[in-house]
Amino acid sequence: MTENKSYPFSDIEKKWQKSWQNSYRFDSSSDKEKYYVLEMFPYPSGNIHMGHLRNYAIGDVIARTKTKQGYNVLHPMGWDAFGLPAENAAIEKKTHPQKWTEQNIKNMKVQLSSIGLSYDWDQEIATCTPEYFKHEQKFFLDFLKKGIAYQKETYVNWDPVDQTVLANEQVVEGRGWRSGALIERKKLNGWFLKVSDYAEELLSELENLKEWPTSVSAMQEKWIGKSTGALVKFDISGRSDKLEIYTTRPETLFGASFCALAPQHPLSLELAKGNADLHAFIEEHSRNTSTQEAIDKAPKEGFDTGLKVAHPFIKDKFLPVYVANFVLMDYGTGAIFACPAHDPRDFAFAKKYNLPITQVVSGIGTEEELEEAYTGDGQLVNSDFLNGMSAADAKLEAIARLEKLNLGEAKVNYKIRDWGVSRQRYWGCPIPIIYCDSCGTVPVPEKDLPVELPQKGVSFEQTGNPLENHEDWKNCKCPNCGKDAVRETDTFDTFFESSWYFFRFCDAQNSELGFAAEKANKFLPVDQYIGGIEHAVLHLLYARFFTKALRDIGMTSVTEPFKRLLTQGMVTNISFKNKDGAWVEVSEVEKQGDKYINAKTKEEVFAQRVEKMSKSKKNGLSPVDIIANYGADTARLFMLSDSPPEKDLEWSDSGLEGAWRYLNKIWRFVNDFENTTKFDDKNLSKEQKELLFIANQSINNVTEDIEKFHLNRAVARIRELSNAIVNFKINSDNDKALIAKVLNIYCILLFPITPHYAAELWEVLGNEERLDEVSWPEVEKKYLTSSNVTIAVQVNGKLRATFETDTSISKEDQEKQALALNDIQNRIKGQEVKKVIVVPGKIVNIVAV
């Protein structure tokens, strides 16, 4: 990339950033209508990347536009500052996670500031500070009182590399989302939040989130996983208790071939006590990976317990009970009835253990030869009183019969689980709990909050949780009885912090525990939230849940945190490999003829796919370098103009150069331009009217485009306006005055996109008021109506000519002008005009014979 100094972006950007230092201050007591625009806050990893630049540039356009439109805009920024990388850095670089984090925040704040973003830094938060996390410790205590938080011993997803528990959401294809390690099952005592109690509300309110991308709502719906089925209670032969199973397909009961229990099902564990083989089987299958995908793929294994259960509808029919590896303990009841003809897992199991396969649903209405499980719809067969019914009717009938027999009932189930929030890590918010031998589990009293992290004597050398190894910190006195006690050494999952930070921003300076409800209720929901699609189920679902939980402990009346959501696309770039297949840093690649070479080593390199900029593919570019070479405004213009925000943006050097050349061209034009008079709008020429029309049309269109997030289109319209300005032939002083007027409109429209540049041009044009203090332009309607239209002239229904005229033209004049056209005169020569039909402002249709 070449460095070109033609427009002094560096001076201009510094100048305006300094001048705006106190401009974007949020006033919580203002009675202007509020507008809350929020971009997902970054993890302070050390440097900003292109994704940040794009995300924050988009948010800045909205914030600056809304400010100009007279809203009281809340546009804050902060740091999602707890997390594992800080601990890993502590181990590798021998620094304290806090020091490392603070340093990164400092560095990234400078980088963010260089983009020229309109944040109110007075509202800045960092989640790793006690000033922030003490509030969430209080929420947790309130959740406990309300029964929203609870402790239980469960099998958890254990990441053996990161040495921590992961939520189901953090396990991707059986592996830890960060470490990539195969996840193990481990029994641990941990703290949970009752997300499952909110499943129905989380689901049903998706419908009200009309300004969310439907793809995100769909992903949440799938994650919540509501199903309607039945609970069936099987009588167990020789025992007085019943086996409860959950099924979504009660209509297939006549095809039941066996029942199966999860290895950790209480009945499995009970039977294992007297059965060493079963015990061994359970042991083996408790260690396996836990995710649905992993289980679906794994070979089906079972252990026949010897127990039999009675079929609810068929007299004297008994089904064997297996313990099976594909049944999960934490879904439904942890037990199933299996219908091999219609469930692929059951089918594989029945084949392996030679169990009957009876078809009960058929697409063609009669029994067929089944090569695999038939999972489609159809009619009931082999099913006694259900025969001939549709599957839907049979489902209702089967449930009605079960209810009558007192052997079951309709039941709704959700896939979503409670959120396990305990992590065995140092760099997180301490969970405010103390364990006392006499009193048991004791919440830390509110007056003792915050529970802070120990600063000194923390060792990251040993394996396991440094808090667990920190005797001074761990040992304490019981707040109840005063005897020796120990602290909870787990810290919160870092999604805890990001689940409520948007509340904190409404009341960022408050030091009392919690936040002021009236402020939260006034400024929430976030009017516009912007972030990556990768948060569709994790953060965005937790934040929705947390908001409802805060409501239920009386903190707020808000029920949904984010009114409108934009998930921006990724920034992609081409990637390169050398002849040995190693990735090559894209910034070191040069084009030579039709080949690519590594500028350093001169060896040939080979273009790979265009994909998301990433460290591993070495195809990332540093926003800091781009800004240093071209300025923030060029970077912003390119990022915003090339594709719609929700689509991926492919990096292109020539696109960046194009943005740079454009800004330089208008820069020169404005700097060479001079005007001394005031515009007089009497006796406007056709050209003047046309330019005024374009300018006012631009205001309309750009306003609408920004509102609809068609930011690339907004940029295109602004460029059209500048073309019209540059191409205008100046013939008089009043022409100059007009250009000055339209250039002013141009500057305001451009301001949200390239703020420093627009502010500077505005000043060059001689305006005294600062551009950031100027309102969004109003459309002058009179210039929109008196503009040109194109009239189509038809002869006997065929288009023969067009002409330009004023929209205010009368019907008579429109007809007269059409008939006077040379083309039309020639066409109707010697004919008689029978009739002329005029559609004002559109068509003149001449009937001639």
Which option in Zn ion, ligand ANZ, none does residue 249 bind, with CB closer than 5 to 8 A by kind?
ligand ANZ
Q: Which residue's CB is nearer to ligand ANZ, number 116 or number 255?
A: 255
In single-letter form, the type of residue at position 704 comes to E
Q: Is 336 in the site for ligand ANZ (CB under 6 A)?
A: yes
CB 660 within 8 Å of CB 748 = no
Can you point out the beta strands (E) in 160-288? 164-166, 171-172, 175-176, 184-193, 226-235, 242-247, 258-261
CA–CA dist 102, 106 (Å, integer): 6
Q: Which residue's CB is nearer to Zn ion, number 396 or number 481?
A: 481
Question: Which window, 187-195, 335-343, 538-546, 815-823, contacts ligand ANZ (CB under 6 A)?
Answer: 335-343
Please give the structure tokens belonging to residue 209.
Answer: 């989130």
Which option in Zn ion, ligand ANZ, none does residue 481 bind, with CB closer than 5 to 8 A by kind?
Zn ion
Which option in Zn ion, ligand ANZ, none does residue 328 bind, with CB closer than 5 to 8 A by kind?
ligand ANZ
CA–CA dist 501, 543 (Å, integer): 9
Residues 627 to 656 in contact with Zn ion, rule: CB under 5 A: none
Q: Is 251 in the site for ligand ANZ (CB under 6 A)?
A: no
Q: Which residue's CB is nearer to ligand ANZ, number 246 or number 693?
A: 246
- Of 194, 224, 231, 193, the residue nearest 206 (C-alpha): 224
CA–CA dist 532, 444 (Å, integer): 37
Q: Is 328 in the site for ligand ANZ (CB under 6 A)?
A: yes
CA distance readout (Å), 334 to 56, 168, 339, 593, 687: 46, 17, 16, 65, 78
Please give the structure tokens belonging to residue 311.
Answer: 């079929």
Q: State which H helix or E strand residue 303 sits in.
A: strand 302-310
Minimum CB separation of residue 435 from Zn ion in Å reads 9
Q: Which residue's CB is nearer to Zn ion, number 439 or number 516?
A: 439
Evaluate the omega torsion of the peptide bond into residue 525 and state whether it is cis, within 30 degrees of 0: yes
Q: Which residue's CB is nearer to Zn ion, number 481 or number 839?
A: 481
Phi then psi for residue 572, to 5 deg, are -115, 165
CA–CA dist 233, 227 (Å, integer): 19
CA distance readout (Å), 398 to 231, 313, 454, 790: 11, 9, 60, 69
Minimum CB separation of residue 227 from ligand ANZ in Å reads 4
Query: Measured between alpha carbons, how far apart are the two ends of the chain, in Å?
Result: 67
- Site string (480-519) toward Zn ion, x via CB under 5 A: xx--------------------------------------
Residues 114, 118, 247, 498: which binds ligand ANZ (CB under 6 A)?
247
In 405-490, alpha helices (H): 471-474
CA–CA dist 39, 539 (Å, integer): 13
Which option in Zn ion, ligand ANZ, none does residue 439 bind, with CB closer than 5 to 8 A by kind?
Zn ion
Which option in Zn ion, ligand ANZ, none does residue 438 bind, with CB closer than 5 to 8 A by kind?
Zn ion
Which option in ligand ANZ, Zn ion, none does residue 848 bind, with CB closer than 5 to 8 A by kind?
none
Q: State which H helix or E strand residue 268 sits in.
A: helix 266-272
Which option in ligand ANZ, Zn ion, none does residue 49 bind, with CB closer than 5 to 8 A by kind?
none
Question: Which window, 4-12, 245-253, 311-319, 835-843, contacts ligand ANZ (CB under 6 A)?
Answer: 245-253
Question: Which window, 152-160, 246-254, 616-624, 661-669, contacts ligand ANZ (CB under 6 A)?
Answer: 246-254
Question: Which window, 270-278, 329-337, 599-607, 709-717, contacts ligand ANZ (CB under 6 A)?
Answer: 329-337
Q: Which residue's CB is nearer to ligand ANZ, number 254 or number 427?
A: 254
CA 633 to chain centre: 26
Minimum CB separation of residue 345 from ligand ANZ in Å reads 7
How many residues bind ligand ANZ (CB under 6 A)? The answer is 17
- Site string (225-244) toward ligand ANZ, x via CB under 6 A: --x-----------------
Per-position DSSP letters for 474-503, written without gaps between them: HEEE-TTT-SEEEE---EE-THHHHTTHHH
Residues 51, 334, 443, 631: which binds ligand ANZ (CB under 6 A)?
334
Q: Is 342 in the site for ligand ANZ (CB under 6 A)?
A: yes
Q: Which residue's CB is nearer to ligand ANZ, number 125 or number 324?
A: 324
Q: Is 134 in the site for ligand ANZ (CB under 6 A)?
A: no
CA 773 to chain centre: 32
Minimum CB separation of residue 431 from Zn ion in Å reads 18
Cβ neighbors of 300 (< 8 A, separation 6 or more) are 324, 325, 326, 345, 348, 349, 352
Q: Which residue's CB is nearer to ligand ANZ, number 271 or number 605?
A: 271
Question: Which window, 86-94, 479-487, 761-769, 784-792, contacts Zn ion (CB under 5 A)?
Answer: 479-487
Residues 343 to 362 in contact with ligand ANZ, rule: CB under 6 A: 343
Q: Is 246 in the site for ligand ANZ (CB under 6 A)?
A: yes
CA 406 to chain centre: 46
- Of 386, 378, 383, 375, the residue nearest 344 (C-alpha): 375
Residues 202, 216, 272, 339: which binds ligand ANZ (CB under 6 A)?
339
Per DSSP, what are the bridge partners of residue 35? 73
Residues 421 to 460 in contact with Zn ion, rule: CB under 5 A: 436, 438-439
Residues 121, 318, 331, 673: which binds ligand ANZ (CB under 6 A)?
331
Q: Which residue's CB is nearer to Zn ion, number 443 or number 755?
A: 443
Q: Is 66 in the site for ligand ANZ (CB under 6 A)?
A: no
- The three-class DSSP label of residue 12 is helix
Minimum CB separation of residue 404 from ligand ANZ in Å reads 20
Which option in Zn ion, ligand ANZ, none does residue 382 bind, with CB closer than 5 to 8 A by kind?
none
Give the number of C-alpha atoms closer than 13 A to the C-alpha of residue 116, restricted to the C-beta side: 31
Minimum CB separation of residue 476 from Zn ion in Å reads 11
CB 845 within 8 Å of CB 818 = no
Minimum CB separation of residue 444 from Zn ion in Å reads 12
Minimum CB separation of residue 433 from Zn ion in Å reads 12
Question: What string of H, E and C letters represents the secondary structure of 502-569?
Answer: HHHHHHCCCCCCCCCHHHHHHHCCECEEEEEHHHCCCHHHHHHHHHHHHHHCCCCCCCCCECEEEEEC
Q: Is 249 in the site for ligand ANZ (CB under 6 A)?
A: yes
Q: Which residue's CB is nearer to Zn ion, number 412 or number 481?
A: 481
Which option in ligand ANZ, Zn ion, none does residue 796 bind, with CB closer than 5 to 8 A by kind?
none
Residues 69, 103, 129, 248: which binds ligand ANZ (CB under 6 A)?
248
CA–CA dist 527, 524 (Å, integer): 8
Minimum CB separation of residue 384 from ligand ANZ in Å reads 17
Q: Which residue's CB is nearer to ligand ANZ, number 380 or number 550?
A: 380
Phi then psi for residue 597, to 5 deg, are -130, 155
Phi then psi for residue 769, to 5 deg, are -65, 145
Q: Which residue's CB is nearer to ligand ANZ, number 100 or number 246?
A: 246
Contact residues toward ligand ANZ (CB under 6 A) are 227, 246-249, 252, 262, 327-328, 331-332, 334, 336-337, 339, 342-343
Contact residues toward Zn ion (CB under 5 A) are 436, 438-439, 478, 480-481
